[in-house]
Amino acid sequence: MAIGLSEAAAATGVNRSTIYRAWKAGRLSSTRTDTGQIEVDPAELFRVFPPIATQQGAQVAAHPHAHADATGDNALHDSALAREAQLLREMLDAMREDRDAWREQARKESDERRELAQRLALAAPIAAPAPAPAAAPSEPETASTPEPRQWVWPWQRRKAG
């Protein structure tokens, strides 16, 4: 009695495409029906993919004394977690102390800055230096100074003519 891909997937707990790929790769032998469906013999299917019930039984069989060991491991695990929580609390307290110290230092510097600003505001204004006396005009400019040359970029020159 052969089963289809969907039934095979449900029986093994894998996807239909996984079974199809195994058939295409030659790891699993199956037949095609006249309608084009792929049918797999259950013995051949379970040779490649173990059934779901066997997979669950294998997990239980691998840990026959899991409950007895779990209580001892849980106590050890709990004490390790408690120690880690204690260390994290200590680190948090140290960080809070650092934060408070930095906050206090910032407050003091702000107070000092405010006090210095008040002192500067109350201080007598500094008189501006008197302007230097204007120099007597020297000799009038002579015609010997050339007029500034008007600059034209080379690409803006126009050819005359």
Residues 45 and 79 in one domain: no
Query: Structural domain of residue 10, as residue ranges?
Result: 3-59
Contact 28, 22 (CB under 8 A): yes
Dist. CA 86–CA 82, nearest whole Å? 6
Domain endpoint, select from 37, 59, 81: 59
Contact 11, 3 (CB under 8 A): yes
Dist. CA 33–CA 30, nearest whole Å? 10
- Per-residue model confidence as pLDDT tens for the chain (161 residues): 789 999 999 989 899 999 999 999 999 988 888 998 999 999 999 899 888 875 555 555 555 555 555 566 777 788 888 999 999 999 999 999 999 999 999 999 999 999 999 888 887 666 777 777 766 666 655 556 777 777 667 666 666 55
Question: Is the model's pTM score more than 0.85?
Answer: no
Residue with tokens 């792929």: 38
